[in-house]
Structure 1
Amino acid sequence: MKRFIPMSALILAFGVSLSVFAMGLDEAKQKLDAVKHQGLVGETPTGYLEVVRAEGQAREVVEAINSARRDEYKRIAEKHDIPVTQVETVAGKKAIEKTPDGQYIQVNDRWVKK
């Protein structure tokens, strides 16, 4: 029992420290255009971002934006009583269409510059 308390405190402290490093949505939104322009992040047909090149804060931006997108897709799906996958597919198509030339999109599981 004596070993359990210090170990659980260590695990709790580690978990709290990781959450401090998580990027907030506002910060991720501010950095999104830059990481897309740098070719670090691209849009996928599934409606989510993916890392093209794992540099800088690309992964953190992807995680924060995708978390917000996932929540929004779920909300839309529930509102219209449709599967989330349907919302994701429509969102992915729109995101790819709106992606400016020179940025990455995923086509047939491969990254291509639009």
Structure 2
Amino acid sequence: MRKTTYLICGLLALLLGSGVAMAMNLNEAMSALPAAKSAGQLGEQPNGYLGVVSNGGDAAEIARQINAARKAEYQKVARDNGVALSDVELIAGQKAIDRTPRGQYIQVNGQWTKK
């Protein structure tokens, strides 16, 4: 009985600890973004959001965090200027693609390509 209790407590600690370690906040995602883009894990899409080019590391979590922040900002800009969210997303997407350095990924016609 005692051995089982220790085993359950150990497993719970491991699970809870790994969840905390895997959690990433926006500042951490922003710091990790350049490396993820340089490694070819993330790229810019025409819709104004990051896309996962190849899974690895924290790519999906980085994209999730940053895309949520981008969407909130796009919604604010759209609301403040009385324009459609989709228009703001497309303009931001084109600007992000234009600013993407050579060798990093962008999405063109639904396909990932190195700029």
Q: TM-score, normalised by structure 1?
A: 0.82
Percentage of pairs with the same residue: 48
Gaps of 5+ in 1: 1-16
RMSD: 1.5
- The alignment partner of 2:71 has SS state of helix
- Report which stretch shifted further, 33-42 or 20-29: 20-29
Aligned equivalent of 1:75: 76
In the alignment, the residues of structure 2 paired with residue 23 and residue 107 of structure 1 have an alpha-carbon distance, to the nearest angstrom, of 29
- The alignment partner of 2:40 has SS state of coil
Structure number with greater Rg is 2
Please say if 1:60 is aligned against 2:61.
yes
Aligned equivalent of 1:109: 110
Give the 4+ runs in structure 1 shifted more than 3 A.
19-22
Give, in angstroms, the shift of residue 65 of structure 1.
Answer: 0.3
Aligned residues: 98
Gaps of 5+ in 2: 1-15
Q: TM-score, normalised by structure 2?
A: 0.81
In the alignment, the residues of structure 1 paired with residue 64 and residue 79 of structure 2 have an alpha-carbon distance, to the nearest angstrom, of 22
